[in-house]
A = this chain, B = another copy of it.
């Protein structure tokens, strides 16, 4: 794994990288499970990801409440994180996002499939969650532990879950993997859309097969990309301070 100065700084890098790639705009958030205490996770206070600095990172319990909120507002959808960390001991990092190319797949019954080798994890399965199956007439936000638990149940053992008319939530065993998966989920959606259009109705698209997916997912942590993202985010932080 790529080196890291601290989990909080890693979250700053992740937040700014996701914003730079257009995977999140003012909305969406990344979190990381505490290495010291698996019943805790780190996430920014309620602030746009491209503005996040180390001082904005708070510690949360698995009830998705801040251990010490310092009077700061919290993300409404923090329950996505707590409930997934509860249900999935293997998950160490989570990215919730609204990346644009993914939403049309969440609304059409078209299944995302792995068309691009950097997006192999999609071959592990990406279910779609419709908040209406949990509750009718919501504002579409995962504003409670109950809704978060329902989402986590649809996520099940998979690496990502689409959220109908909303976006997706992506999970992984480490933060660079979660960030890379969120970025390449969006790119896969763009490429798959174009391939489906080229192939036409009933046409064949040649996706990765299960053995290829397995061979790729076993090691893919987007390490070279993470080192690039670190360097660029740190340069931006330094420029802001000067």
Contact = CB atoms under 8 A, between A and B. Distances in A.
Interface of A: 25-27, 46-48, 50-51, 98, 100-101, 103-110, 114-118, 120, 130, 132, 136-141, 164-166, 187, 190-201, 203-209, 211-212, 214-216, 218-220, 222, 224-225, 227-229, 231
A154 to B, nearest CB: 15
A26 B224 contact: yes
A148 to B, nearest CB: 16
Q: Nearest 10 A-B pairs (CB), nearest first?
A: A137-B211, A26-B225, A117-B140, A48-B228, A104-B195, A139-B215, A139-B216, A104-B194, A107-B206, A108-B198
A215 B117 CA distance: 36
How often does this chain occur in the complex, in copies?
4
Contacts of A106: 206
A62 to B, nearest CB: 24
A194 B193 contact: yes
B116 A166 contact: yes
A137 B108 CA distance: 31
A228 B26 contact: yes
Contact of A204 (B47, B109, B201): B109
A190 B115 CA distance: 17
A139 B212 contact: yes
> Which residue, A106, A108, A215, has most C-beta atoms of chain B within 10 A?
A108
21 contacts: A26-B225, A27-B118, A27-B224, A98-B116, A103-B191, A104-B194, A104-B195, A104-B198, A107-B195, A107-B206, A108-B204, A108-B205, A110-B198, A110-B199, A117-B165, A132-B212, A140-B212, A140-B216, A165-B206, A193-B198, A200-B201
Nearest to A222: B26
Given A139-B216, A140-B208, A205-B108, A187 B100 contact: yes
